[in-house]
Structure 1
């Protein structure tokens, strides 16, 4: 009886090694910058909430951009702060809130929930973002949408691009990355 269990033990050990458990999130690279905890919708909402709290509408200066670093992908951050020429690049951008696509920016932002991530190994998720701005006096409020492209860097979800959707004129169209590339 002891001989049979000694023979079966290595076989059972070999079989157990064949059944590996996949982690819920695969590491999709590294990230050396600070990170904000949460899923893609949570991180996007935290980013826009930070923008609204600070009253930062328009182009971020170097200090503001440093505050945004935990929320931005490495590629987007580097594009905004490119080799110390970030100030010159931002100065050439159109006079608008680059993270919403509207000329004045929002006073309210709601990121639509990514309640279910269909593929746990997903590396990017586009999220609809409802934006609005209260107008002074009798003028009606303005509402529009954007799409925040959230990507995973390491185990962090970060903002990589913003697609401008239906912003009120004279807002821009296209994406934040396209706007940065043309300047």
Structure 2
């Protein structure tokens, strides 16, 4: 009798399990207009900083430099940088210094924090600490924060928060500085 009841319930349980689905926190993770770099948020951020260290820029990146940065930048940040580049601004802050870090001279090394400790796999944005340093007669080390966002299946840099002790740019972050 006991086995007959279990046998009778098995198809019902199978039918109910087929009806139960697990929905991600975000059904639509957005789209991506530009090219993409493979990897998770920390890997993409590390690749971005590797490129920045290899080819540092002062002030707003030129169109050629932006083309190299494009796979790493969010659509929003890329378009904001393009717009700022095309406007004739007499803003001295945007024409000199490293826009992607707190220190005007920019870093000579960068280490991005590992994002594997972040438990939410459905996250659309993840802030990552970046330890930056500048070699020289007086070595300097500081931390900034890079905001990574997911666009489609890609992770991209959406903003840089200036967390250094004396940031050379006012406004707190790259996007806030560009919108002034």
Give the aligned partner of residue 100 of structure 2: 99
Q: How does 1:127-142 map to 2 (within 5 A)?
A: 127-135=128-136, 139-142=137-140
Q: 1:26 to 1:112 in 2, by over 3 A?
A: farther
Q: Do the aligned partners of 1:144 and 1:168 also contact (CA within 8 Å) in 2?
A: no
The CA deviation at 1:114 is: 0.9
How far apart are residue 115 of structure 1 and its match?
1.8
Contact residue 36 and residue 72 of structure 2 kept, 8 A: yes
Flag the 1:17–1:93 CA change in 2: closer, same or farther, 3 A: farther
TM-score, scaled to structure 2: 0.82
SS of equivalent residue, structure 2 residue 147: strand
CA contact (8 A) 1:62 1:87 kept: no
Alignment of 1:143-162 (within 5 A): 143-162=141-160
SS at match of 1:59: coil
Tell me, yes or no, if the aligned pair for 2:60 and 2:85 is still in contact at 8 Å: no
Residues 164 and 21 (structure 1), Cα distance of their counterparts in 2 relative to 1, 3 Å cut = same
Which residue of 147, 169, 172 maps to 1:172?
A: 169
- What is the rounded CA distance, in whole Å, between the counterparts of 1:172 and 1:32 in structure 2? 29
* Aligned residue pair count: 170
Structure 2 unaligned residues grouped into runs of 5+: 1-7
Unaligned runs of 5+ in 1: 1-6
Between the aligned partners of 1:106 and 1:90, the Cα distance in structure 2 is: 26
Runs of 4+ in 1 over 6 A off after TM superposition: 7-10
Question: Normalization by structure 1: what TM-score?
Answer: 0.81
Task: Show CA shifts across 1:105-148 (max 9, x none).
Answer: 0110111111223111111110000111111xxx2201111000
Q: Identify if the C-alpha distance between structure 1 residues 97 and 9 changes in structure 2 by more than 3 Å, giving closer, same or farther.
A: same
The alpha carbon displacement at 1:32 in A equals 2.2
Partner of 2:3: none
Q: How big is each residue's C-alpha offset from its partner over 1:69-123, in whole Å with a ceiling of 9 and x where there is no partner?
A: 11001110000002xx624367635121011121110110111111223111111
